[in-house]
Amino acid sequence: MTEQSPPSEPPLLEVNDLGQRYKLPRENLFRPPGQVNALNGVSLSLNAGKSLGIVGESGSGKSTFARLVMALERPSSGSVRLLGRDLNRLSAEELRRARRDVQMVFQDPYGSLDPRQTVWRIVAEPLSALGWLDRAETRERVAAVLREVGLREPDMDKYPHEFSGGQRQRIAIARALITRPKLIVADEPVSALDVSVQAQVLNLMQDLQEHFGLSFILISHDLAVVDYLCDEVAVMYLGQIVEQGCPEDLFARAAHPYTRALLDAVPRARAGAIRPRREAPVVGSQALGRAGCPYAPRCVLADGHCREHAPTLREIGARHLAACHKAEAVLAQPAPVEAGEALVSHRH
Ligand code: ADP
Ligand code: MG
């Protein structure tokens, strides 16, 4: 593990009160179009060399968060700072240069690699956007990153269809590595892969993290995946962080009923589960302007107070935050995952 940055240096990533609203298609000519609060007041910071996991079910705003961190779109509110620079205040040229520090790996290793390009062109693509290097130097750098992700130099003249899903995700990781970024945002990088291959790709990411002092933001709907790579985990529900802490805290001392429900869905997690009510999830648009805790409609512990007053993210332990009025009651329940009990053993 790398050392923490000295206090004088800004954090690698600092996200402040980040929000994103999307307009929904107009259903009715006589009504204003609806809106989705895809992200709502998210704040966090990440130091160099550390990795952050973001978990939550589909629609909780994880990919929106990733796009905003990558400055692929402008937020409706709040800021994203990378090494102290507010990405949304940079000129196009400054942003282009800032992009070498943060790269992305997507979920679908089939859809995200251009099938008509050879591997070396695919992997070199982020370099050309930065306007660097001649062909020979470029191929040399591609060969180097291919080796780093466990592929071979001759692979660079092949096409994506010649590789398996796991190998394609290695190609995507090589492409992300080529600018020597400080941060890689990986949005569900192993969700499309077989479980055995998932372990290999996660092992690779962990090795890269240790070897280069890289930081990852690892997005997954699967808590077991983030457990394994991350120093810190944020649980998202309807565009908000509802719990945040180190993996040990989240698993052994989950303080939000939603986190416990997620853990209960993971194989081998048991006891102390607080199952959600079987009610359809409230979509973001419905939650707009709604009073009270967004999780209250699904929460078995919710009372009148929860339905009236939205909880804020508060400290319930050292570096452990939860947005729940009932956190203390939840903590008094048996641990959702017992000490020493692995969720799912990814490492072989
Ligand atoms: P996740 O990645 O956690 O599944 P997303 O960030 O993709 O969640 O989506 C969060 C919410 O925002 C969802 O309700 C989704 O339908 C909505 N959303 C995402 N992108 C758009 C968009 N471009 N236009 C309208 N709604 C969007
Ligand atoms: Mg997503």
Q: Tens of pLDDT along 189-199?
A: 999 898 889 99
173-206 CB burial, b ≥16 within 10 A, e <16: bbbbbbbebbbbbbbbbbebbeeebbbbbbbbbb
CA 188 to ligand 1: nearest atom:
2
For the cut 90, the answer to whether the pLDDT of residue 214 exceeds it is yes
In which band, very low, low, confident or very high, does the pLDDT at 258 lie, cut at 50, 70 and 90? very high
Q: Which ligand is nearest to the CA of 58?
A: 1
pLDDT at 348: 36
Residue of 22, 35, 108, 285 best suited for mutating to test ligand 1, as the one with most atoms within 8 Å of CB:
22
The strand pairing partners of 234, in sequence order, are 54, 244
Output the ligand 1 site: residues, CB below 6 A: 22, 36, 38, 56, 58-64, 283-284
Centre of ligand 2 to C-alpha 152, Å, is 31
Q: How far apart are CA 23 and CA 41, in angstroms?
A: 18
Q: Which ligand is nearest to the CA of 188?
A: 2
pLDDT at 289: 60
CA 58 to ligand 1: nearest atom:
4
Q: What is the torsion angle, in degrees rounded to the nearest 10, for the CA atoms of residue 9, residue 12, residue 15 and residue 21?
A: 150
Q: Which ligand is nearest to the CA of 237?
A: 1
CA 23 to ligand 1: nearest atom:
25
Q: How far apart are CA 275 and CA 264, in angstroms?
A: 7
Centre of ligand 2 to C-alpha 220, Å, is 8
Whether the Cβ atoms of residue 39 and residue 239 lie closer than 8 Å to each other: yes
Q: What would you measure as the largest C-alpha separation in the chain, in angstroms?
A: 68
For the cut 70, the answer to whether the pLDDT of residue 47 exceeds it is yes
C-alpha dist (Å) from residue 97 to 28, 101, 111, 181, 201 = 44, 8, 26, 11, 28
Residue whose CA is closest, atom 10 of ligand 1? 61
- Average pLDDT along the chain: 87
Centre of ligand 1 to C-alpha 239, Å, is 9
Residue whose CA is closest, atom 6 of ligand 1? 61
pLDDT at 109: 75
pLDDT at 1: 46
Q: Is the dihedral of CA 17, 22, 23, 24 positive or negative?
A: negative
pLDDT at 307: 94
Centre of ligand 2 to C-alpha 131, Å, is 31
Centre of ligand 1 to C-alpha 103, Å, is 21
Q: Which residue has the tokens 């282009």?
A: 96
In which band, very low, low, confident or very high, does the pLDDT at 277 lie, cut at 50, 70 and 90? low
In which band, very low, low, confident or very high, does the pLDDT at 286 lie, cut at 50, 70 and 90? very low
pLDDT, average across residues 335-346: 55
pLDDT, average across residues 308-322: 96
In which band, very low, low, confident or very high, does the pLDDT at 345 lie, cut at 50, 70 and 90? very low
Residue whose CA is closest, atom 12 of ligand 1? 38
In which band, very low, low, confident or very high, does the pLDDT at 274 lie, cut at 50, 70 and 90? low
pLDDT, average across residues 2-12: 70
pLDDT at 270: 43
Whether the Cβ atoms of residue 28 and residue 14 lie closer than 8 Å to each other: no
Type of residue at 85: R
> Which SS3 state, helix, strand or coil, does residue 206 take?
helix
Instruction: Report the percentage of the chain scoring pLDDT > 90.
Output: 68
Centre of ligand 1 to C-alpha 38, Å, is 6
Q: Can you state the percent helix, strand and coil of the chain, rounding each to 5?
A: 35, 20, 45
In which band, very low, low, confident or very high, does the pLDDT at 111 lie, cut at 50, 70 and 90? confident
Centre of ligand 2 to C-alpha 132, Å, is 32
Strands ordered across the beta sheet of 240-245: 102-105, 183-187, 215-220, 52-55, 232-237, 240-245, 320-322, 314-317
Whether the Cβ atoms of residue 326 and residue 319 lie closer than 8 Å to each other: no
pLDDT, average across residues 32-54: 93
Residue range 126-173, pLDDT digits in tens: 987 777 678 899 999 999 999 999 999 999 999 999 999 999 999 999
For the cut 60, the answer to whether the pLDDT of residue 117 exceeds it is yes
CA 57 to ligand 1: nearest atom:
3
Q: How far apart are CA 337 and CA 233, in angstroms?
A: 16
Centre of ligand 1 to C-alpha 140, Å, is 39
From the CB of residue 266, how many other CB atoms can be counted at a distance below 10 Å?
A: 18
